[in-house]
Amino acid sequence: MDPPLTGEWSRGRLTVTAATAAGPNRAHRQDGWDQAKITKRKTWAPRLRGLLPLVMLLSVWELAGSPGSPFFPPPSTWGSALIGLWENGALVAAVVATLTTFCIGLGIATVLGAVLGLVVGGSPGADRAMSPTFEFARAMPPAAMVPIATLLLGYDETMKVTVVTLAAIWAILLNTRAGVRRIDQTLLDAARSLQLGTVQRIRKVIAPALLPAVFLGVRVAAPIAVVITLLVEILTHLEGVGALIAQSQRTFQPARVYALIVVAGALSLLVNGVLGVVESYVFRYRPGKAGRSE
Amino acid sequence: MTSRMRWLHWINWPGLLIMGLFAGAWEAAVRWSLLDYQYLPAPSAIAPGARTLLTSGELIPNVLHTVLVTLIGWSVASAIGIALGLLLGLCPTAYRYSMTSFEVTKAIPPITFVPATLLIFGFSLRMELVIVVYVGVWPVLINTIGGVRGVQVELLDVARMLRMSRHDRVRKLIVPAAIPEIMVGVRLALSLCLVLAVVAEMVGNPAGVGHALVLAQQALQPEKMFAYVLSAGVLGITFNAVFRSAAAWILPSPASGRGGGSP
């Protein structure tokens, strides 16, 4: 009596696993991965269990650290530092500034990246003509662009957004380009036989077909945009979470530095979570979800 | 067609033309002051800037410092990442009891640790190395775990059929099967290490390309600054190209770490 087999595409290859309860598989696979791989139970216990080393580290830190330490203040002091920042309004202002730059930068990068990716993906000639320029621009490290941007544009929001956009655009552009190349020829044939105009064809056929690719690009670009926003703030001391961290470091307030690192982590988790929710909403009718290869 | 002709055909003429057009437009805009940026040098001014940097012996030591720190940090990070990744990938208990911790820590943008390390280690080489190693460990670790855990079930069945010992199974089957993915992680780590080395130099350790870049900015010497930015970009391209060809040379083709291209 063979167990029914189910196929699962992961990393572009088909993995066939036996879709049975854990019992027979424990014999089948002796290394203990069977349960996680096959039943995929969504309980919280295993995930919380995984937090153990972090919790232990923080507890040891709390017990061993002295509150006055200039390098490793215990976690309990982070909380009071955070409350202090919250009460004088600096925290809210910084978070709002960081999120604003991030959203505008990622938004512009999405629109520009999708349009450029559409052009480059649609025409092999344009692709060949533009690729050296793109490769060259992509190779410039965003961190090194910051001094140039400040010298040219000055210390303001435009400069922040420009740097973030320049860093975030490539993932979206490349994913859109790949998406355009993958579009099913039948879809384009259908559009032709329906005699759709250019606008109609883009709006009704190409854009919906490209949405998963663009979204995948945004998923990749979002963490980059967060990092670059913080980087610009750390380097230029313009308002934001990054600037607040740098300022706390320069004024030797280690508890604040650690507290703000936690805030930055929470921000990036939040961004990821929001994108995940948006993704599952936008693609709620698609059985396969957006391409989650990476 | 002679081989020489084919070589000419292989060059991307329209691509070079577009790049040349960009440079020309930039040059023209600066010459005739169409752009209202006080500190934008013309491309023709950057080349002499780079030349003076070269002849004054300023560029080479700075680049060398950044290259050395990047390579040392990257090697250490790769070793740590692969070792830890193999442990977590091969031992389900270790994976279960620590993966969420790693996921939570990974969510914190590594850039925010730069001020913290600055606080702990001061303006020193140690600070730069710690940052470079830390940022390099992540992609190697994640890709090693993914590669080891992603080994096809069929391969494991083969191992079972051949009655391989656990040691043999890991050495002859799982690790070789995971190598392509590990190589992707190692390659991503290399470019991340370079970027963070430059950042650490800009903020903390007063040495290398990053520091020179900031000095040139503060001295309002845009030609120098562009020359340094260009050299940082060239470094990135060179590292990537050298790594790819080295990987293709050392390992057979499917294992040379292609794909997975996000920076």
Nearest by CB to residue A246, choosing from B115, B149, B217, is B115
Which of B119, B141, B164 is the best mutation test for A, with the most CBs of A within 10 A? B119
Residues of A in contact with B113 (CB under 8 A): 261
pTM value is 0.81
Residue A187 has pLDDT above 60, yes or no: yes
**Cβ proximity of A153 and A162 under 8 Å:** yes
Residue-averaged pLDDT of chain B: 85
Nearest to A258 by CA among B117, B201, B102: B117
Q: Is A105 on the interface with B (CB under 8 A)?
A: no
pLDDT mean over B26-52: 77
Q: Is the dihedral of CA B216, B110, B130, A77 positive or negative?
A: positive
Per residue in A243-275, pLDDT (tens digit) is: 999 998 888 888 899 999 999 999 999 999 999
Greater pLDDT, A286 or A190: A190
Q: Which residues of B touch A140 (CB under 8 A)?
A: 229, 232-233
**Separation of alpha carbons B195 and B197, rounded Å:** 5
pLDDT in tens, B186-216: 999 998 999 999 999 998 888 889 999 888 8
Say yes or no to pLDDT of A47 above 50. yes
Binding-face residues of A in 18-47 toward B, CB within 8 A: 29-33, 36, 46-47
- Interface contact flag, B104 A130, Cβ < 8 Å: no
The predicted structure's pLDDT at residue B253: 55
Res. A198: pLDDT tops 90: no
The whole-number pLDDT of residue B36 equals: 66
The whole-angstrom distance between A195's CA and the closest CA on chain B is 33
Q: What is the pLDDT of residue B5?
A: 63
Q: Give the separation between CA B80 and CA B74, rounded to whole angstroms.
A: 10
In this structure, are residues B110 and B131 in contact, taking their beta carbons and an 8 Å threshold? yes
- Please name the residue of chain B whose CA is at the shortest distance from the CA of residue A16: B153
- Residue B260 is predicted with a pLDDT of 43
When pLDDT is averaged across residues A167-195 and rounded to a whole number, the result is 89
Measured at the CA of A96, the angle between CA B114 and CA A93, to 5 degrees, comes to 85
* B235 or A32, higher pLDDT: B235
Chain segment A127-175, per-residue pLDDT in tens: 888 888 888 888 888 888 888 888 888 888 899 999 999 999 999 999 9
pLDDT recorded at residue A17: 43
pLDDT in tens, A205-242: 888 888 889 999 999 999 999 999 999 999 888 889 99
